[in-house]
Chains A and B, each alone.
Chain A
Amino acid sequence: MLAADFEVERRDFAVRIAIQLEGGERVAVLGPSGAGKTTFLEAVAGLVPLTSGEIRLDQRRLSSAARPRSDIGVGRRGVGLLRQNPGLFPHLTVLENICYPPGANPGAATAAAARMGLGTLLQARPRGLSGGEAQRVALCRTLQTGVQLLCLDEPFSSLDRPLGLELLELVRQELEGRGTGSLLVTHQLQDAQAFADRVAVLYQGSLLQVGDPRELVLRPKTALVASLVGYRGWLRRGGRLWAIHPDLVQISSAVDGDGAISGRVVGMRPDGARIDVELESEGEWVGRFHCPFSEAPELDLRFSFHADLATVFSGVESDLD
């Protein structure tokens, strides 16, 4: 459905994207701040011109660097955009906001609003809405435009986590129900995994890896990707780099053999209903992992774990910034 193969020059680096989305597919774009995620979405939404390449949606050429004059205008691309600022029109009621898009059907709009829990707020003004309610209105409004692809630029990052997750789930349901595709920008891996069919890792303008959410975490292609998907511990051994993911560490006091990595517990800290444990191996800080209170190890406990629970990189792939 979406065929994007383009480049946008930015001040510090160029954002280079080559990706395709099937109809109704949801892709999450994961990366640290400044990676170019917003630029990516803005290019797809038509807010920035392309430096090279083009973007197509279902054979329609939305943007082209070669022929910028024929770029399709922002509201007519079939692409919607939700951002941290919901952009509700303060002088209109919630219902008027939702029905704002040209060609919006008031009946369908009202039904959608009810489905999203906005039924009692239809006559309210944006000023009186909470952050979560406002984003729901913004979502409902955008969906009235009949978009084929919804771009989400971390719209819930300013809300508290549980609410953010709840809203993300709401979005997912609505999109699923309509068969609308989506590009979700996030820096939270969990959100990406919960929401998307595929995850794309973006770093300094380049897509490092695109794939199934689980595959990405279990088999990152490079150490850089590993660092972006949650690997926290690093060990250099025999000319190779070992990446250790805290969720994949199991402490056992008796693992032997060639593949064992041994070390000791050097710190512990409560973290909600579990404990954050810090490990060291051969003088190197290896990382943190969690365990329940009931399984809290002793400080200075010697541990070892099996090497094949770590992911190993060699050569070029072991490049880390």
Chain B
Amino acid sequence: MTIPPAPTALRGSGVRVSTGAALVGALIIWVALLGPLIALLAHLTPSSVVSALRQPGAFQPLEVSVLASLIALGVILLLGTPLAYLMARGRLPFPRLWEVGVILPLLTPPLVIGLLLIFMVGPATPIGEALSHLHLTASDTFFALVVAEVYEAVPYYVLGAAAAFAAVDPELEQAGALLGDGRWRTWRRVTVPLAAPGLATALAVTWARAMGAFGAVLIIAYHPFGLPMQIWVTLQETGLSSALPFALVLLVVALPLPVAAYIWSSRARRRL
């Protein structure tokens, strides 16, 4: 004997309840995430923002942060993309090892990354000495800031980009090859355009992480001040009300790129 299906009314409300519960959950977490921003805006008066930004050299940390993050992003793109692609296509020997290598910095608190970077690229280490031949020091310099940002942000890019590449059907790459493409042409005309939406969102996250890098920066790149360090120091120097405007600046400056990336990404996805 078969069990009769649930009456339509009950079935419908069951679906409604679970969708409703999901929405409530989503709302809670979203509000929680935005809470600090709301607190920030509530505590800022336009005059305090203006006076903080009128201080001499107030925009210096902004320039430092943006420039360092752009350079870090470029380095991450250049070096992280091949790794992400090879990981996605399973062309690396001992794949688990490579994955662990990418996840480890993610698991390491940024403060600890900074402490360990001292041992790795400090001026008196072999790498540090090699760098000094290139007139570069990875301690308390702009270069050190870029290094710290790269370390804090690169796992996010590699993992996101690997997922984006993995989502590109390998048979399409094979199709390109069968039609006479060299490897590079298929990469350029098929793989990258198809992975681009995922790459864009990965870059958005990476940029956010680089701009907000603090733990490793505190240790090896205290100077020159980027925005996060500026907020930290200003907080201790003159207190919360003068530090918060810089937090607002950080958000205002750092936000457009990820937002644009997400918008572009979802548009590009719909076209596929």
B267 to chain A, nearest CB (A): 12
User: Chain A interface secondary structure, helix, strand, loop or mixed?
Assistant: loop
Contact (Cβ within 8 A) A91 B180: no
In the bound complex, CA of A142 to CA of B174 (Å): 13
B178's contact among A45, A90, A125, by CB below 8 Å, is which? A45
Could you tell me which residues of chain A, from 170 to 227, have a CB within 8 Å of some CB in chain B? none
Contact (Cβ within 8 A) B179 A101: yes
Residue B227 interfacial (CB < 8 Å): no
Known contacts A76-B180, A102-B181; is A91 also within 8 Å of B171 by CB? no
Residue A85 interfacial (CB < 8 Å): yes
Give A residues with C-beta under 8 Å from B.
Answer: 45, 47, 73-76, 80-81, 85, 87, 89-91, 100-103, 125, 127, 141-142, 145
A268 to chain B, nearest CB (A): 35
Contact (Cβ within 8 A) A87 B194: no
In the bound complex, CA of A142 to CA of B176 (Å): 10
A89 to chain B, nearest CB (A): 6
Give B residues with C-beta under 8 Å from A.
Answer: 171-172, 174-182, 185, 189-190, 193-194, 271-272
With a CB–CB cut-off of 8 A, which chain B residues contact A102? 179-181, 185
In the bound complex, CA of A89 to CA of B102 (Å): 31
Contact (Cβ within 8 A) B189 A100: yes
Contact (Cβ within 8 A) A91 B193: yes
Contact (Cβ within 8 A) A75 B193: no
In the bound complex, CA of A125 to CA of B190 (Å): 15
Among B175, B179, B182, B190: residue with most chain A CB under 10 A: B179
Contact (Cβ within 8 A) A87 B177: no
Known contacts A90-B194, A127-B272; is A101 also within 8 Å of B180 by CB? yes
Known contacts A47-B174, A100-B189; is A91 also within 8 Å of B179 by CB? no
With a CB–CB cut-off of 8 A, which chain A residues contact B172? 87, 89
A74's contact among B177, B194, B272, by CB below 8 Å, is which? B177
A141's contact among B174, B179, B182, B193, by CB below 8 Å, is which? B179
B36 to chain A, nearest CB (A): 39
With a CB–CB cut-off of 8 A, which chain A residues contact B185? 102
With a CB–CB cut-off of 8 A, which chain A residues contact B180? 75-76, 101-103, 145
Smallest Cβ-Cβ distance to B172: which chain A residue: A87
Smallest Cβ-Cβ distance to B186: which chain A residue: A75
Known contacts A91-B193, A102-B185, A127-B272; is A80 also within 8 Å of B177 by CB? no
B272's contact among A47, A73, A80, A90, by CB below 8 Å, is which? A90
Contact (Cβ within 8 A) B175 A87: yes
Smallest Cβ-Cβ distance to B268: which chain A residue: A91
A142's contact among B179, B181, B193, by CB below 8 Å, is which? B179
Smallest Cβ-Cβ distance to B181: which chain A residue: A75
With a CB–CB cut-off of 8 A, which chain A residues contact B190? 89
Contact (Cβ within 8 A) A80 B178: yes
Contact (Cβ within 8 A) A73 B177: yes
Smallest Cβ-Cβ distance to B183: which chain A residue: A73
Contact (Cβ within 8 A) B189 A81: no
In the bound complex, CA of A76 to CA of B176 (Å): 12
A155 to chain B, nearest CB (A): 13
With a CB–CB cut-off of 8 A, which chain B residues contact A125? 271
In the bound complex, CA of A45 to CA of B174 (Å): 11
A105 to chain B, nearest CB (A): 14
Closest 5 CB pairs of A and B: A87-B175, A75-B180, A101-B179, A74-B177, A90-B272
With a CB–CB cut-off of 8 A, which chain B residues contact A80? 178-179
Contact (Cβ within 8 A) A91 B272: yes
Among B175, B180, B181, B272: residue with most chain A CB under 10 A: B180
Known contacts A76-B180, A100-B189; is A91 also within 8 Å of B175 by CB? no
B171 to chain A, nearest CB (A): 6
A to B CB contacts below 8 Å, 12 in the list: A45-B178, A75-B176, A75-B179, A80-B178, A87-B175, A89-B175, A89-B176, A89-B190, A90-B272, A91-B193, A101-B179, A102-B180
With a CB–CB cut-off of 8 A, which chain B residues contact A91? 193-194, 271-272
In the bound complex, CA of A9 to CA of B99 (Å): 33
